[in-house]
Structure 1
């Protein structure tokens, strides 16, 4: 007979360490799980370092059995999300949980019940989960694509979590899709014609990000993003502090020729961000830069070579969405970055996403460049 599962609210440094370390132990046997740098995990969970805490209430929980950690979960309320329209996914009365790790179904049940109890006590009556922590971090549970490792800044979890979560009454609210595509040989003649047509437009200019003016260009990109995505399901605007924080976080893996800004008559109207897959280097480090992993990582950051590129973000301001010039800009940026990725970084494949399942514009772009779905992340909802 198994002993009782005890759920503790994390309040000490010792508990926080157990919360972080547990993921590395429970996923050690999964060849496709990529251990994140522990310093990044601690920063994510630190109110002093993560500006998400400026507009969120967060409580971490640790499950223990026989004195040993066997599971964890975060419960949180994003107060900016509460201000969004309910029909766009979040809104008033909607809380979240995330960062779930559990040794078995019984532990999962206990953790979810504890997170729901905490959310109800905070006045919430609905859950959208998992979010770890913000909608901008690692949203959704991996439900398709467990047979390969995630790319940079993407989540990965054991397949049995889906059954355990759905057994608690959670239903799919939205699916987030990633697409895989070979990039060495380029795209179809149709895409080439669209690109050449855009090049003939003298009002349209594409430029690379300028790292000597990185703060300026980062703010331009994030402002486009806030406008372009504002009508999307699940959207929560990034604050100025979050924009600055993301800029600092991404700067080490930003390469000028892999991020483009499109300007129309001198006005920035679209962007496309591509990142070399840092996860290729994080594998085998077990979340630590010691003793010599820091040197390996610094060398790679200086001379990055990666077979995989990820496109995490792309946006066109609302004024030009669903227009002919929007598709021209998108395909031009994709093609220009593809050339650089192949010739300078040794890339052979790209990964686009995540993309909302009903984002017709992005799905059409993914189909036009003949990409294939390779991962699906599910966001669940439940009334509590």
Structure 2
């Protein structure tokens, strides 16, 4: 007998977070999310101060067979002058009936909140966090801060009447299989930028709080034209920055600055998913914490997580300098592979730039929509 419940108790929240571990128990490419991070994301993140989320579980007798979260993103609707609702944290056995139960519950909850526009997802909570359904590139584990799902999810979602909104591309390089032109030209590019009083420097971790204030302004302007973009509040950006500080390598956290004004930045992160993959059910205790602490030097890949320049400073060579510096450090530190992204499929300028340095569009993630 199947039934759907609204997640309300601590025990139900635990079951919601743990369900993917059981669903993907035999999948060699699955990477468990850290339990404490998912719990805090679902309960303590500043997002919840001005938005709403309701999680649902479907049980088949006493076994969880599906989960979803209905997300009311007031900030998105205000910024984009819309009345849309979102779904996220969707995981499901390969069963159309279970998927239908989940999406009906999420849609009904959103309708009760007054949503009359589109039903969009998956986003966990918005495009500022992990988002998109993996539709191509199932042969390797996901990099840090990407979503993951089985191939059959696409049929379940499209079978419920959802259409493609936009695709997100993740670009890959193996070993030294990249065009190092930006590295070879790095000195001359930087000299050219200096004539405009623009310098590329590493983030100052000793003054990270002050750096964060400036970076937040750049973030909210450099990505403001992207589909589905929602500006981060001060608290949301601080929450993100605090998490990133725990795992960032300052050699890969670069700032473009003109006379004290930050005009762009690039961040690449060591692929901690290589460690998370070994942490059973995402529990740091009792042994997971030691894997996290002692295996950092064994990480073989990086993810170029964010690289953006504000309008008025683009096409000056700043982007090439940021990429060139990251590639130079990647080579110096002996990493074996890298990913960049995601990028929107219609962002021709950045996609052509990545293609020019021989990026391989290895994975594709899709955002879906339908009228609610």
TM-score by length of 1: 0.91
* Residue 30 of structure 2 is aligned to residue 22 of structure 1: no
* Residue 333 of structure 2 is aligned to residue 339 of structure 1: no
Confirm or deny: 8 A CA contact 1:10 1:59 kept in the other structure.
yes
- Which residue number corresponds to residue 104 of structure 2? 113
Matching of residues 200-279 of structure 1 within 5 Å: 200-202=192-194, 203-279=197-273
Deviations 1:8-63 (A, max 9, x none): 011111211111111110111111110111111111111xx200101211111110
Distance 2:242 2:183 in 1: 34
Instruction: Determine helix, strand or coil for the equivalent of 1:32.
Output: coil
The correspondence for 1:133, drawn from 125, 130, 135, is 125
Residue 188 of structure 1 and its aligned partner are, at CA, apart by: 4.5
* Residue 111 of structure 2 is aligned to residue 104 of structure 1: no
* Residue 176 of structure 2 is aligned to residue 180 of structure 1: no
- Which residue number corresponds to residue 163 of structure 1? 155
Confirm or deny: 8 A CA contact 2:165 2:367 kept in the other structure.
yes
Confirm or deny: 8 A CA contact 1:184 1:347 kept in the other structure.
no
Confirm or deny: 8 A CA contact 2:86 2:119 kept in the other structure.
yes
In structure 2, relative to structure 1, the CA distance for the partners of 1:221 and 1:190 (3 Å cut) is closer
Which range moved further: 217-226 or 252-261? 217-226
Matching of residues 141-152 of structure 1 within 5 Å: 141-152=133-144
- Which residue number corresponds to residue 280 of structure 1? 274
Unaligned runs of 5+ in 2: none
Distance 2:300 2:140 in 1: 14
Instruction: Determine helix, strand or coil for the equivalent of 2:79.
Output: coil
Residue 135 of structure 1 and its aligned partner are, at CA, apart by: 2.2
Distance 1:295 1:189 in 2: 40
Instruction: Determine helix, strand or coil for the equivalent of 2:166.
Output: strand
Distance 2:108 2:157 in 1: 16
Confirm or deny: 8 A CA contact 1:143 1:159 kept in the other structure.
yes
Residue 336 of structure 1 and its aligned partner are, at CA, apart by: 1.3
In structure 2, relative to structure 1, the CA distance for the partners of 1:336 and 1:10 (3 Å cut) is same
Distance 1:300 1:222 in 2: 31
Deviations 1:226-269 (A, max 9, x none): 01111211110000001111111111111111111011244211
Aligned length in residues? 367
Distance 2:124 2:184 in 1: 39
Residue 185 of structure 1 and its aligned partner are, at CA, apart by: 6.4
Residue 369 of structure 1 and its aligned partner are, at CA, apart by: 0.8
Distance 2:89 2:131 in 1: 10
TM-score by length of 2: 0.94
Confirm or deny: 8 A CA contact 1:208 1:257 kept in the other structure.
yes
Confirm or deny: 8 A CA contact 1:195 1:331 kept in the other structure.
no
- Which residue number corresponds to residue 363 of structure 1? 351
Residue 189 of structure 1 and its aligned partner are, at CA, apart by: 4.0
Residue 158 of structure 1 and its aligned partner are, at CA, apart by: 0.5
Instruction: Determine helix, strand or coil for the equivalent of 1:320.
Output: coil
Unaligned runs of 5+ in 1: 86-90
Residue 292 of structure 1 and its aligned partner are, at CA, apart by: 2.1
Instruction: Determine helix, strand or coil for the equivalent of 1:200.
Output: helix
**Cα RMSD (Å):** 1.7
Distance 2:178 2:204 in 1: 26
* Residue 300 of structure 2 is aligned to residue 312 of structure 1: no
- Which residue number corresponds to residue 74 of structure 2? 79
Distance 1:62 1:189 in 2: 51
Residue 383 of structure 1 and its aligned partner are, at CA, apart by: 0.3
